[in-house]
């Protein structure tokens, strides 16, 4: 899988859609500088609109080989916003903080495997 870029002019919705296209078994959640989850009312806002510390030139290269920890730190540094990566675990989404040394690709693969296990257990 190829790296992709997050641009500060991307809307939250665009970012979530791009993320899902690259990592279908991971969910990205963005939090405001005051640590509030960005909800559906803010999906049309750009990352720049959400944080006053963003430079228009602050693109973030997301390499699938980077660890979750490195991605979360890089996102915070680039955009001044907190991010969380959740992994699909069958019927729920679990935080990856206990496995944040795994790469995004490895996390996505774990989510895929878990989803297949739950699918085969369905009645």
Tokens 């699918």 correspond to what residue? 119
Query: What's the pLDDT score for residue 56?
Result: 66
Q: Where are the beta strands (DSSP E) in the chain?
A: 4-6, 26-31, 60-62, 82-89, 92-95
- Give the C-alpha separation, 95 to 104, whole Å: 13
pLDDT in tens, 12-61: 999 999 999 999 999 999 998 888 899 888 899 999 999 877 766 779 99
pTM: 0.89
Tokens 């030139």 correspond to what residue? 57
């Amino acid at each position: 899988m190829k790296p992709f870029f997050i641009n500060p002019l991307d809307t939250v919705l665009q970012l979530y859609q791009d993320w899902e296209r690259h990592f279908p078994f991971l969910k990205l959640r963005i939090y405001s500088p005051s640590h509030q989850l960005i909800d559906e009312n803010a999906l049309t806002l750009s990352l720049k609109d959400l944080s006053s510390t963003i430079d228009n030139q602050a693109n973030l290269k997301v390499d699938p080989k980077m660890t979750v920890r490195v991605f979360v730190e890089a996102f915070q540094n680039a955009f001044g916003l907190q991010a969380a990566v959740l992994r699909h675990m069958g019927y729920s989404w679990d935080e990856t903080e206990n496995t944040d040394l795994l790469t995004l690709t490895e996390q996505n693969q774990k989510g895929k495997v878990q989803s297949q296990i739950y699918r085969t257990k369905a009645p």
